[in-house]
Amino acid sequence: MNASENGDGSERRELLRVLSERFGFKEFKPGQEDAIRRLLAGRSTAVVFPTGGGKSLCYQMPALLLPGLTLVVSPLIALMKDQIDALAARGIAARRLDSTLSLDDYRAVMDEVRSGRLRLLYVAPERFVNERFCEAIQRVRISLFAVDEAHCISEWGHNFRPDYLRLAQFAHSCRADRVLALTATATPQVLDDMCRFFDIEPQCAIRTGFYRPNLTMLATPVTDDGRVSENGTVPLGSGVDLPTEARSRDALFFEAMRSREPGPTIVYVTLQRTAETLAERLAAAGVPARPYHAGMEDAQREEVQNWFIGSDRAVVVATIAFGMGIDKRNVRYVYHYNPPKSLENYAQEIGRAGRDDRPSVCEMFFCVEDLNVLENFAYGDTPSLEAVEGLVRAIFANSADFDASEYELSSTHDIRFTVVRTLLTYLELAGHLQRGTPFYATYQFKPLRTSAEILTRFDAERGKFLADLFRQATRAKTWFHLDIDRASRTLGQPRDRLVRALDYLAEQGDLELRAAGVRHRFKVLDRPADLKAVACSLYEKALARERREIARLGQVAALVEHDGCQVSALGAHFGEPLPQPCGHCSWCLGGNRPARLPPRPRPEIDPAVLSQALSLRREHPTELGPARSLARLLCGVSSPYQIRVKLQKHSLFGTLSHVPFPVVLERVEKA
């Protein structure tokens, strides 16, 4: 049932009035009105609109019209500054709580929340481990609990985050009047999960058409010629029979750049290094191209972004980090120089083309040699069973209340940081642990006045306290480091007083202060009898995640080889096949179809490399003991242990990066 058909005309006029007066838009975009009406009627709702489809309005407008607070949870709040500023410019009180906020700013925001003045509060999902915040927010009337990137709640999604399960629990416990779950990409299975976890009736899930008639969608199998492997050591596999129709990626890509009308272009690549080199090569060929990736300074990235937004022919060669926060309507081309990680990523990335509805081209170059590098991201996140068991034993060797740094756990147990966090969240969700408010273990400060100048302003007792405090800090160049717990014990003063004093001095302009070394408090709720079994089940979860990621890459390859309309096949993945072929994808346009990818190269493993690896393992029994660790080294996949002892600089690192990881792992296990 279409809400706009049965709703009365005056309600519709009223909504359009608010839309135009408060937001400056004449009409709703598809799905917006339906979602807003359902929410205003008190029903929890899910929306699946493509990126740029106008999801935010679905909570911004109810936020104005509902009595209580609208709480917006998004992992990308750093990118939402513009959105919040835009709301403020329209006189809509919105704020965000981010981790850089000082204590006073935090308090000021929470005062606005309590007074009822604030309409929207944006927070990151991590905020819900903060006890003080949770307690404060439980006392506030939440009219709408909006969860962005809600597909993260599903294990079937491409970006599962177990902390989203905690969010769903919180939505219940804070008794939010209604929930809005938003995402740009959800398969039917993922949408089911979103509805189930957030208590949304299936008929309140709104999907807008995913089909974009203005996009030409090309998928081109290519060979990888003349490229040196990413770590610069090994030329890639040869001796594979390639079908003659598979052509050189660079020849095709540069030809496309030359022959197509210039226009704003995003070129997606997998590695930062490729972003740099490809942008350089394009620039050398006279194309206005610049790289964009997570390894660049924030200011530099912002500059590239602004340059791109303001230009009608700029080319940005980017890793996936690019494009999330920007809304540029006239992107004419989106290339995938390397394949995307999943169809979900693909749909989002090509969704940045042609938002002005004018003809635009998306072309994916699919090269089987790229699969190792892409798969290694997934393999690198799986810890060894030994590492997981070490972590589990260490956690439960603690007393009932303990604190830990996820960074330390990561480097002590050789598990990537984000994976440590995931494993701990699983222990929490299984009822073994309870997480408490994080705190900072170290404070760093840079004096802006001499200590004499500072101290004269205080009475004798306070002056002595501050002088003692300063003496506890150790100096590193211009910054001083203070281990706050140790200082608190040594001085016999409560930790709180120390922190307050530093905050106060920072506020007075006496020093610049920053907190570092986040530690998390935990309570052991249920100490498992069989630690090995707990470790095995966590390890099994990690392996399952790995299998899902690898399968997702396989789906991208399957799309390229699909014998039928590819746009329809992509739509079908998201529950929306087209009624007839699109007429503007490789398959519909193409002469030789279906496209066939060449077989994956399976190069031989040089026995000499293996024996060198085994002798290196004897030198580093801890770092390289588990077969997975040694396989990682050979495949060029770094890990916390390797970084600690600089093994990623060793000549063996990445020697077998042209061999699929499971093949290397198996050989190492047998050796």
SS3 291: strand
Cβ of residue 172: shortest distance to ligand ADP, in angstroms?
A: 25
Q: Whole-angstrom Cα distance, residue 466 to residue 636?
A: 50
Q: Strand 205-207 relative to strand 247-248: parallel, antiparallel, unpaired?
A: unpaired
Cβ of residue 23: shortest distance to ligand ADP, in angstroms?
A: 7
28 binds, among ligand ADP, Mg ion, none (CB under 5 to 8 A by kind): ligand ADP
- Binding pattern for the stretch 90-129 against ligand ADP, x by CB under 6 A and - elsewhere: ----------------------------------------
185 binds, among Mg ion, ligand ADP, none (CB under 5 to 8 A by kind): none
Q: Which of 543, 546, 461, 442 is nearest to 502 (CA)?
A: 442
Q: Whole-angstrom Cα distance, residue 539 to residue 382?
A: 8
| CB nearer to ligand ADP: pick between 83 and 319 | 83
Q: Whole-angstrom Cα distance, residue 413 to residue 421?
A: 13
1-40 residues in contact with ligand ADP (CB under 6 A) are: 25, 28-29, 32
Q: Which of 516, 522, 310, 277 is nearest to 421 (CA)?
A: 522
SS3 659: coil
Using rule CB under 6 A, residue 156 touches ligand ADP: no
38-67 residues in contact with Mg ion (CB under 5 A) are: 55
Using rule CB under 6 A, residue 55 touches ligand ADP: yes
| CB nearer to ligand ADP: pick between 103 and 324 | 324
SS3 196: helix
Cis peptide before 162 (omega within 30 of 0): no
The separation between CA 188 and the C-alpha centre of its own chain, rounded to angstroms, equals 22
548 binds, among Mg ion, ligand ADP, none (CB under 5 to 8 A by kind): none
Count residues binding Mg ion (CB under 5 A): 1
Q: How far is CA 215 from CA 212, 315, 334, in A?
A: 6, 18, 10
CB 552 within 8 A of CB 341: yes
CB 338 within 8 A of CB 269: yes
Stretch that binds ligand ADP, among 49-57, 114-122, 464-472, 520-528 (CB under 6 A): 49-57
Using rule CB under 6 A, residue 327 touches ligand ADP: yes
CB 351 within 8 A of CB 52: yes
Using rule CB under 6 A, residue 52 touches ligand ADP: yes
Cβ of residue 320: shortest distance to Mg ion, in angstroms?
A: 16
Using rule CB under 6 A, residue 268 touches ligand ADP: no
616 binds, among Mg ion, ligand ADP, none (CB under 5 to 8 A by kind): none
| CB nearer to Mg ion: pick between 325 and 603 | 325
Tokens 């990308």 found at: 76
Using rule CB under 6 A, residue 74 touches ligand ADP: no
Q: Which member of 34, 35, 40, 56 binds ligand ADP (CB under 6 A)? A: 56
Give the number of other CB atoms < 10 A from CB of residue 640. Answer: 21
| CB nearer to ligand ADP: pick between 25 and 440 | 25
Sign of the dihedral defined by the CA atoms of residues 171, 172, 174, 179, in that order: positive
Radius of gyration of the chain (CA): 27
| CB nearer to Mg ion: pick between 55 and 301 | 55
438 binds, among Mg ion, ligand ADP, none (CB under 5 to 8 A by kind): none
Q: Which member of 36, 49, 123, 364 binds ligand ADP (CB under 6 A)? A: 49
CB 393 within 8 A of CB 527: no
Buried b (16+ CB within 10 A) or exposed e, 476-507: eeebbebbbeebbeeeeeeeeebbebbbebbe
Cβ of residue 82: shortest distance to Mg ion, in angstroms?
A: 11
29 binds, among ligand ADP, Mg ion, none (CB under 5 to 8 A by kind): ligand ADP
Stretch that binds ligand ADP, among 53-61, 371-379, 445-453, 510-518 (CB under 6 A): 53-61
Stretch that binds ligand ADP, among 52-60, 309-317, 341-349, 360-368 (CB under 6 A): 52-60
Cβ of residue 659: shortest distance to ligand ADP, in angstroms?
A: 40
CB 482 within 8 A of CB 443: yes
Using rule CB under 6 A, residue 351 touches ligand ADP: no
Cβ of residue 167: shortest distance to Mg ion, in angstroms?
A: 17
User: How many Å from the N-terminal Cα to the C-terminal Cα in the chain?
Assistant: 64
Return residues touching ligand ADP (CB under 6 A).
25, 28-29, 32, 49, 51-57, 327
Q: Which residues bind to Mg ion, rule: CB under 5 A?
A: 55
